[in-house]
Every structure is written in C-alpha cells, then in structure tokens.
A and B are shown apart, each in its own frame.
Chain A
C-alpha cells in the first residue's frame, strides 16, 4: 500500500521532467556521447554481476551490450550503473541511465503511473519451489501438509497462500526476514520447501550444503516478467530497445549464431536476407535498420557482438553454468515457450 502511494507521488513528481527529457531524443544523445548508460543490478547471479576481472556478466548485462552493438557495432560501448532496487526507476526517470536492464518486474502500476515503458520480457520468472530429492516429489500438487520457508512481507507469502488455497492443500509457513537465513533454515531441515522467485532458487541452491540433493519443481505459481525498461515519451529509443530484444529472438529462431552469422549473410533465403539487411541485386536494402535510426546490418552487429537470445541465455544462466536453469517458459514459442517476436518485415 505504502509503496503504491509512493509510486503515484513519484510518478506525478516525475511527469513534468519525463516530458522534458522526452524531447531530447535518447538515441541521438546516446550516439553523441558514444556509449549507452545502462542501469543494472548490484549483483544477481546470472543476470548482472561483476566477475573477478571487473567485467560485468549476465543476461541483463548482455542485453545492454546488444543495444550498444546495434547502435555502435561495438558491444563494449556501454557503461553500467549498478542501482539498488529503490533508486532504479528514479535513475531512469531523471536521465541518469538511458536504459534499465535490472530484473525489474513488469506490472500495470509501474507501466502506467511511473512514466516508464517495458520494451519486452527478456526473462519470464515466477515463484517456484525447491524440495529435497529424497522426498520423491515431482510436482507442486503433491505438497499438501508441507512446511514452507519464505521471506516475510513479500508478495511471495501472498502468492503461496493463494496457491495452496486454490489447490485445497494445507501448509505451515516459516517466514524469516533475511534471505540468507531463509536458506539456512531450509538447509537445516526446518522446512520441507523453499519458495521464492525461480531464478533466485537456482542461485540459492548453489549455497546449500549439498546442492545436488535438491530439485526445483517445474511449477511456477506467479508471474514475474522481467525486462528492459525505458522512459515513456521517447518512442524512437523505445523502438530501438524493443527491436533489439526482438532481433535477439528472431536470430535464434532463424538459427543465426555468433559463429555462423557471416555465413548466413550469403544465404539466399529471402527472410534471412531481409533480417540481416543484405542488399538486393539492385543495391537497395529492406530498410528495417535505417527505419529505426540504425544501420542496415544492425542484427548482424547484435549477433556478432553478443550472440542470439538462446546463446545469451545458455552462456549466463543455462544448463552448463552453475545455475543450471532450463529454458522452460523462456524457450521460443515454437519450442513451447513464451518468447515470441513479431516478424521483421
């Protein structure tokens, strides 16, 4: 409640400035200063985290690089501003960052009252459950009578209550303030289930005594669509960010990877030619990149710089990383997931 009021107040306060900032044209500003200022998380495994060599890595970070690659043909032309959860939207509204790629959930109130716009959903997250393998449970429907460890005062607790009530199951909750202590309580066996956002569960699992003794159930009981955010009122910039995201998906859909992108430009497939901005015989091009203020080869630049969506996913959070997250809902629509890009034509 409190946060809602705050959100409205902030939204109102920001309105005038957002309009003022909108006139500027973020794409031109970015091109002029020569880099994208990207707001990221202060540290979230797999999404944005500085490694020992001070390089930022992660899915959110790679999205920023993709935008930089689309504009400058150089994925390194990006500066990262680590932002805390509380200041992230203000930083975007005030123009401190051009783009916010910081595991921010897309909700109606944020979308409509804060002067912000979500450019897509780079990761479909949601609340999940972790249990011990020894319990021989394969579905959340079998959790009747379980003891659940969770954080206090978050939506997690409410979602949990809804889910168990809807499925007519009983449960006992062990609610603890600090995330580290929740994990510890679960590890010590004070409860059967550990629940929080699913991507978080994969990260928390690593810090358990025996990570391999635990599995994460496939069910997701809430919607947490995470994606890049821009300021409202600057449609040019919004289009660049939105279509960078769609370009990543389209590249995966067409099988264009970092390794084979050069080869693909020689393809005779008309769709491939269109997407990769290959010039026609008469020297004219489809004009999709120039239409949003970028080059004809913008998708080639993106894929060369950071790879397609699938490559980004596998590199940062996929099954070969310590996090071992399966594609699940984040698979392409043709593989049964939710990631779907409108056609480029």
Chain B
C-alpha cells in the first residue's frame, strides 16, 4: 500500500493563518484582565480597593472643588452650612506661608534668592549641562553669601577684633601647610620653629583666660597686651610655616601655600562682603518664616551633612584610634538623642549657660543643631555604603600605589556613595520634613506658620484647618517627591552593571 503525499488530505500545505490574539488578552480589556481581574480573589480585591479609592478621591474632589468657596474677604465667606475648602483663606495667607513675617515690600529679596537658587541648581542637576566647575563654585560659594546678604540685609558690622580673630586663626592654620605638603614627619621636622611659635601663641591665649586681660596703651588706644603678643607670635609662626613650604617649592609646598593664601583671601573677601552696607533694610531672623525658613534650614542641613557625614564615616572606619574614637563618640551621642532634644538644648539650655545679655541668633542655633544631627545620621548611611565595598577594591587600589585620599576619591567613595543613594536621599527627605520640629522652639517653619494662621479669628471656620493642611501637605509633597524622583534618575544613570 503506497500513499502518495497528494492523497493525504490532512497534511497541511501552508501555514495556518495568523490570528490576532483573542480580544480578551489585548488592549484595554486584556490589560484589565491581566492586571486587575486575573482571578476571583484578585477581582474582589480590585473592586474593594477601587471603590475605596474612588470614595476617597471623590470626597477630596468634592471638598476641594465642588463645594469649595473661591472668593471672599474674610471668614463670613466660608461659613456656609455645607461649604468645602476655603480657598480665599489660602490666597490671603499664602504670602505669609511662603515668606513668614518678612516685610512685604522686601519680599523681592527672598524671590531673588529662590530664583537664583533654582537657576544654579537646575544645570547642576542636569549631567550634560556644561561648566560644572563654575556652577559648583557659584552654587556653593557665591550663592550662600549672596543669600545671606540678601536675606539679612548684610552690613554685619564686624569689629576689628573679629577680623583679628579670623586672621589669627588662619595664621594658626598655616602650620598645616607644610604638613599637607610634605607629610606628617617631614612637615614637623622642617617647621619646628613655626610649630613652636604657634604652640606658644596658643599657650599664651589660654593663659589669658586665667590672668585676665593686661591692658596697655598703644597709639592712644587701649589694647590687651596678651592679644598683641599672641598676634605677633602667630604672625611669626605663620610666616615661618609658609616660608618653609615655599622654600621647598618643588615638592608641592608652593601649591599648598597658594591654597592657604587663596583660602585666607576668600574668607576675608567674604567677610568684607558681609560687612559692606548695600543699603538693604535689615531683616532679623525672627521675621523670617514659612517656606523660606523650611528651605533655609533643610538646604543648610543637606549641604552640610553630606561632607561632614562622609568625613565622620571615614573617621569611624579609620585605623587611627583617636580619630575613630572621636567619630564614634560624636555619632553615638548625637544619634542617641532625639532631634527635639538637640533643638531644645540649643534653644532653651544654651542661653542659660551663656553669660546674661549675650544671646546669639535662635535660627542660627537651630541650623547648627539640625546640621549636627543630620551629619551623624549621614555618617552611618555612608558607612553602610563603605562596608558594601569588597576588600579587593581597597587592596587593588593600594597595589597600584594610590594614597589614602586618592584611593577614597577615585575608587571607594564613588562606589560607596552610589550604593547609598537611596538612603542618602531618604535622609535628605526626612531632614526636610523634620524641620517641622522647629515649631517647638518657636520658629515658624511652613507647618508652624500654618498653625498660627489657623488661630486667626478673621479666618477661623470649620473648613479652614482641612484646607490649610491639604495645601501645606501638597507643598511638602512636591519637594519630597522631586527629591525622590531625582534620586531614582541618578541611580539609573549611575547603574553600571550591579543592578539586580
């Protein structure tokens, strides 16, 4: 029995026609079926939560738009039996929520700071934008100075003693120059005289606490003898240190000395800028408030905490026992107390320990407290990142002869920080929101000023509080969400094969 192919009717000669996937698996229907209604259980959950979401959203929508009051001059407008969000209150109070009690005709100064900050930050955040070095210099050196002058009005009126103190400290710091240039041992060996004079100056300065100031009269003005002696000693020490460094110029001493000179010039320039009278109306920090204070405190905290945190983390992992111990003590003490306690210490206890009459700015105290606090947390986040770097990376770096700082800068920190990005940004976000605690020490951050507004009998209605909280929550959310999205973008950009 022979079968010819042609007679096998059931053998298919051509491909079956390609049918489109069943309608239930494509398009909207398919997506719904796959994601929302794959099984009976899931369908029930979908319906339940869908209804819940719909209910919540519709009631918010109803409150914020449908029943809302859009115009009015005072609380009478929002008093209606069934009225929803009281938007005219937000319109009337928004200026205060953003600027606090900043004089109304001076608000442009805050605006200039906002705009300049945004204009400098935006190209900083875009990796492909050019002139990064200039951008960094403007953002981290020029911008804070300009902001300080604009917000406070400048004209700090430093007295001569302050200038003398700063110059003395810089002269004292000059002894580091040879150390930085030639390493610890050679630096000490070649600059014994300079170090000796610096030590004598510091000793004399401490002694002046015990003896009290010795007065002498030079050129008709009364001066403290000890201050003058200390100054002369420091001048000698500084000159010797710099001289030593420059004399051995070929070995990097010149660069270190130049660095010191630029630092001194920069600090003096900054002081002169702050001292200069630009004719701006002085605005004291108790008049700041709202979003301005929230941003000032959180941005300062963020900018200070990252570098300080990195240094503390490296210190904690250092092999030098004293450095390690100091870092551990700092981190554990600060982490061991709540932020509220730190703020209370700075605002309530500190003034008691200072001599009566000397009170320094409350906002500044809070800024220092917040920066110290967030640095300790940042240190632990960075340390987590450092620990995730395998030992081989360190050994490899050492094997090619990199110094400690080269190893850290080029090999370890880039990897460690990349790993820690989610935690670092998490810290930034929680710091941003922790600024609300300033309320407790009598500073009006965004939430604090909202609460003050809600007490205003001109706008007290049943719907004022929900409207205000909704608005302010939205403002917080915009900032936090922005930070969160940027961190995700950075993570994706830097992900170089470790992603799981």
Contacts and interface: CB of A to CB of B under 8 A. Distances in A.
Interface in A34-74: 42-46, 49-54
A133 to B, nearest CB: 16
B81 interface: yes
Contact of B462 (A84, A91, A209): A209
B452 A50 contact: yes
Contacts of B286: 79-82
Given A81-B286, A206-B75, A87 B441 contact: yes
Given A80-B286, A322-B75, A206 B461 contact: yes
A187 B440 CA distance: 28
B214 to A, nearest CB: 25
B142 interface: no
B455 to A, nearest CB: 4
Question: In the complex, which of the residues A14, A51, A321 has the most CB atoms of chain B within 10 Å of its own CB atom?
Answer: A51
Interface in A90-107: 90-91, 93-96
B409 to A, nearest CB: 44
A210 B81 contact: yes
Interface stretch (A17-25, A258-266, A332-340): A17-25
Contacts of B287: 54
Contacts of A90: 348-349, 351-352
A43 B93 CA distance: 14
B412 to A, nearest CB: 44
Contacts of B464: 207
A20 B352 contact: no
B354 interface: yes
A187 B462 contact: yes
Contacts of B439: 42, 84
B81 A93 contact: no
A207 B461 contact: yes
Contacts of B461: 206-207
Contacts, number: 114
B457 A96 contact: no
A84 B442 contact: yes
Interface string B454-477: 111110111011000000000000
B357 A54 contact: no
A241 B287 CA distance: 25
Contact of B96 (A46, A52, A80): A52
B232 to A, nearest CB: 35
B243 interface: no
A42 B93 contact: no
A323 B93 contact: no
Contacts of B442: 42, 81-84, 87
Contacts of B356: 17, 20-21, 24, 94-95
A173 interface: no
B117 interface: no
B95 interface: yes
B348 A207 contact: no
Contacts of B79: 211
B104 interface: yes
Interface residues of B, number: 44
A54 B452 CA distance: 12
Contacts of B444: 42, 82
A9 to B, nearest CB: 11
Given A86-B344, A86-B348, A206-B75, A43 B452 contact: yes
A80 to B, nearest CB: 7
A30 to B, nearest CB: 12
Interface in B94-134: 95-96, 101-104
A180 B465 contact: yes
A217 interface: no
Contacts of A53: 104
Interface in A1-22: 13-14, 17, 20-21
A52 B348 contact: no
A142 to B, nearest CB: 27
Contacts of A83: 442
B117 to A, nearest CB: 23
B300 to A, nearest CB: 21
A203 interface: yes
A207 B451 CA distance: 13
B347 interface: yes
B252 to A, nearest CB: 50
A52 B462 contact: no
A206 B457 contact: yes
B352 A14 contact: yes
B448 interface: yes
A215 interface: no
Given A86-B440, A95-B357, A207-B462, A49 B456 contact: yes
Contact of A43 (B104, B455, B465): B455
A292 interface: no
B6 interface: no
Contacts of B455: 43-45, 49, 203
A208 interface: yes
Contacts of A209: 81, 462
Nearest to A207: B460
B92 interface: yes
Interface in A202-239: 203, 206-211
Contacts of A50: 96, 101, 452
B462 A96 contact: no
A174 to B, nearest CB: 19
Interface of B: 75, 79, 81, 92-93, 95-96, 101-104, 284, 286-287, 344, 347-349, 351-352, 354-357, 359, 439-442, 444, 448, 451-458, 460-462, 464-465
Interface of A: 13-14, 17, 20-21, 24, 29, 42-46, 49-54, 79-84, 86-87, 90-91, 93-96, 180, 187, 203, 206-211, 321-323
Given A43-B453, A81-B442, A90-B349, 6 more contacts: A24-B356, A52-B95, A54-B287, A82-B286, A87-B347, A209-B462
